[in-house]
Amino acid sequence: MTQAGLRILFLDHSAALGGAELYLLDLAPAFAPPGEVVLLEEGPFYQKLQAAGIPVAVMAAPRAVRQVAREAGPGSALRAIPGLFWVAGRVARKARAFDLIYANSQKALVVGSLAARLAGRPLVWNLHDVLTTAHFSRLNIRLAVTLANRFARLVIANSDASRRAFQEAGGKTPAVVVHNGIDVQRFAAVEPGQLQAMRRALGLRDGPVVGLFSRLAPWKGQHVLLEALAQLPDVQALLVGEALFQDEQQYAQQLRQRAARADLRGRVYFLGFRDDVPALMQLVDVVVHTSVAPEPFGRVIVEGMLARRPVIATRGGGAVEILRDGETGLLVPPGDAQALAVAIQRLLRHPEQARQLAEAAYKDARTRFSIEAMRQGVRQALERAFS
């Protein structure tokens, strides 16, 4: 089997535009066609793949399968079993026309493992998560590691932090690290006049603005930024993203209630999902990353670097593989609103230092986190595994 002729069936459980899905949107054009993407639900990701000219099909998973959460216990998992075998059978029938199944998420790993066994095809798992109890139930971690050890020929991890967590959880399958790549061209400079027009359209007042670009979820730490803002009365914030899953809706409501209190009222803008993230990043003075649990990679950190904005990130996980503290950005302890406030204030009070950090970060990101570097890394990993 030669890499040049490798026909890959990419499998993803979600049609929401999360980090793993954006990664696949950038990776798939290097292999599809002749490769193809299969999703287990229909949604915005499906439309994005179609618009990019990537062959894509939807094999809708039963509700019991789709509703198994990261924290799932035995009852939820057991209820999903009949639907799991049903959808795996459908994927297996399609997979017989391909050389391998490439699972792009943890749920895709579960379906893909069964489908690979039924179809007699090898399986690759792209690991986008840190497999710890900060993110998953013990049952989910054990299931993922067991399936990877039993069925996957290769694990491609998005960071060394993800790879180490997999191995520490008992992962034995060969695992390589390929960092995510970001399309540099999306971050072409926006004219100052356009940025001013954006400020007016958003209703921003004069004064500094920080931006946090992530779905609204407790572990993403938007609440930490709000508490830091309470110490910075002249600073406004853009929260770009929305709750993706049902269990995150309550957290999103709590954030809005906190932002409505007197000390923050009128300074926090909830923008939901946006297609103009590169421009919004150039609009803000500082990009912040506030995850309170280790980030598997930290795509938004790289995007902030490519937008030529100084970035403050939480120390831990993939973030420490991206930023060098004091050289290409600032790192702060997770969950520490005081430290975050101090770091924001430092950059706002010292614009020349902020500019130097941003320029150094931009040059670094262009070299280390390009789409071509990511695609080449995946090509080489597959070539070694299947040559």
Give the pLDDT score at 79.
Answer: 60
- Please state, in angstroms and as integers, the Cα–Cα distance from residue 228 to each residue in 160, 232, 290, 329, 376, following that order: 30, 7, 11, 18, 40
Give the pLDDT score at 62.
Answer: 65
- What gap in Å lies between CA 230 and CA 265, rounded to an integer? 10
Q: How many CB atoms lie within 10 A of CB 133?
A: 12
- What gap in Å lies between CA 211 and CA 217, rounded to an integer? 16
pLDDT digits (tens, 9 = 90+) for 138-187: 988 999 999 999 999 999 999 999 999 999 999 999 999 999 999 998 89
Given a cut of 60, is residue 77 above it in pLDDT?
Answer: no
pTM: 0.86
Q: If DSSP codes are grouped into helix, strand and coil, which group holds residue 148?
A: helix
In order of their start, the domains of the chain are 3-181+370-386 (3.40.50.2000), 184-368 (3.40.50.2000)
Closest to 317 in 3D by CA, of 135, 72, 174, 108: 135
- What gap in Å lies between CA 152 and CA 154, rounded to an integer? 5
Between 328 and 74, whose confidence is greater? Answer: 328
Taking a C-beta distance cutoff of 8 angstroms, is the pair 122, 153 a contact?
Answer: yes
pLDDT digits (tens, 9 = 90+) for 349-385: 999 999 999 999 999 999 999 999 999 999 999 999 9
Give the pLDDT score at 71.
Answer: 46
- What gap in Å lies between CA 228 and CA 241, rounded to an integer? 19
Most confident among 68-82, 130-144, 236-250, 333-347 (mean pLDDT) = 333-347
Given a cut of 60, is residue 1 above it in pLDDT?
Answer: no
Provide the Cα torsion 168, 289, 29, 273; round to 10°.
130
Between 70 and 100, whose confidence is greater? Answer: 100
Phi/psi of residue 4, nearest 5 degrees? -60, -30
Taking a C-beta distance cutoff of 8 angstroms, is the pair 105, 128 a contact?
Answer: yes
DSSP string across 76-107:
HHHHHHHHHHHHHHHHHHHHTTSSEEEE-SHH
Q: If DSSP codes are grouped into helix, strand and coil, which group holds residue 177?
A: strand
Taking a C-beta distance cutoff of 8 angstroms, is the pair 137, 71 a contact?
Answer: yes
Sorting pLDDT into bands at 50, 70 and 90, what band is 73? very low
pLDDT digits (tens, 9 = 90+) for 264-297: 999 999 999 998 999 999 999 999 999 999 999 9
Give the pLDDT score at 4.
Answer: 47
Sorting pLDDT into bands at 50, 70 and 90, what band is 112? very high
